[in-house]
Amino acid sequence: MSSLAHEKMIPPDNKRGRHDNNEENEDRLSDLPDCVLLHILSFLNSKHAVQTCVLSPKWKHLWKCIPTLILHSSEFSNAKKLAIFVTKILNLRDTTTPSLHTLDFERLGSFEPQRTLKEIVNYACSHNTQLKQLGICVKGDSSIIFPRISSCQALTSLKLCVYPKGLYSNGKRTLFPKSLNLPALTSLDLTYFAFCASDIADHAEPFSSFNCLNNLIISNCTVMDAPILRISSSTLVNLAMSNNSSDFTKIELFAPSLYTITFDGVPHQRLCGSSLSSIKQVNIEADIFSNTFEELPFVLFSWPQDLINTKSLTVTASNLKILFLVPDLFKAKLPSLLCNLKTLKVCSRMKWPTKLRGLSIEK
């Protein structure tokens, strides 16, 4: 006999029954303080957060006070619906409540409505003294982004992905400003940008003005009018590079606090600089698809020789295939690397560092 049937045969105690019914009908979630509920809602995409308004009277206006806005086009069937939603949610938010801390906007459709992007950027700038984290991932013209976000002096995390408009863009990338004044910035994630050298320099040095930078990601980027990308930062700890262009040949590192390097893609660039000895953890997943295939094994082979104080090394099977193309590989001596290496891990695929990749929602 099932427990459910057994319960029907024995009349329940009336007091206990009433007590149990009260417990079942009690809305314990709504009894939580508003600050706790807002914290929970901050992890939701804004479209889903708004939908919680139907749960109970208390939730009707709660979404208007969420300190985090996550607006991704993947939640909408077309650009028009996204644009309508963005306009409504920005206009209906409660302006009397504490400020906006995080804004994450992603729109990667066939075109980017400039009105929507302008609304997002203007709204972010209207909270420039409180906004801590900003993520913008779009396709098309980005000319309105940099002139405005420079006013967001409280930013600690900035993620920018600006893909060219159209199928035949010939790899044209957005120019990253030579100087961007964001004094509190600790994490920077850039995708599809071009860094420019000054008129008389043989290198581009786009990050030297960020005095608090700890984490840096550069993906699908290039250097214009110079063969060298120089990364200068006294505070940089983690550096990740992915699928960058072959238009430049060298990466100079002047970052005495640099501890971890993560690389994914074709190893076009050699590493040099005064900070290589500070690096203790190296993660490499190299690809072999390139027109300059003959040079790649030697570039990749030079890295462990330069990173002499590495203690932890993670590589993939593809790396080993490339290294095996180096003539007389097993006759090569790497005493400095072998003396300091404590951990060697070989895996089929390497996970991109989740703590760096993308806009983390800090609480």
SS3 276: helix
Amino acid at 52: T
Full-model pTM: 0.83
Amino acid at 339: C
Give the C-alpha separation, 235 to 241, whole Å: 18
Percent of the chain having pLDDT more than 90? 36
Which stretches within the chain are classed as H helix? Answer: 3-9, 14-25, 34-41, 46-51, 79-92, 114-126, 145-149, 296-306, 317-323, 335-340
Residues forming beta bridges with residue 136, ordered by sequence position: 105, 160
Using 50, 70 and 90 to split pLDDT, how confident is the model at 8?
very low
> What pLDDT, on the 0 to 100 scale, is given for residue 50?
93
Give the C-alpha separation, 164 to 140, whole Å: 5
pLDDT at 301 over 80: no
Query: Which tokens sit at 136?
Result: 């913008």
Least confidently predicted of 31-35, 109-113, 131-135: 109-113
> What pLDDT, on the 0 to 100 scale, is given for residue 204?
93
Tens digit of each residue's pLDDT (9 = 90 or more) over 334-352: 555 557 888 888 887 766 6
Mean confidence (pLDDT) of the chain: 80
Tens digit of each residue's pLDDT (9 = 90 or more) over 158-169: 999 998 876 545
Tens digit of each residue's pLDDT (9 = 90 or more) over 223-270: 998 999 999 999 999 999 998 888 888 999 999 999 999 988 887 888
Give the C-alpha separation, 323 to 98, whole Å: 55
Neighbours of 232 (CB within 10 A): 19
Produce one character per residue of 15-40: b if its CB has 16 or more CB atoms within 10 Å, e if not.
eeeeeeeeeeeeeeeeeeeeeebbee
Phi, psi of 238 (to 5 degrees): -120, 130
Longest dimension (CA), the chain: 92
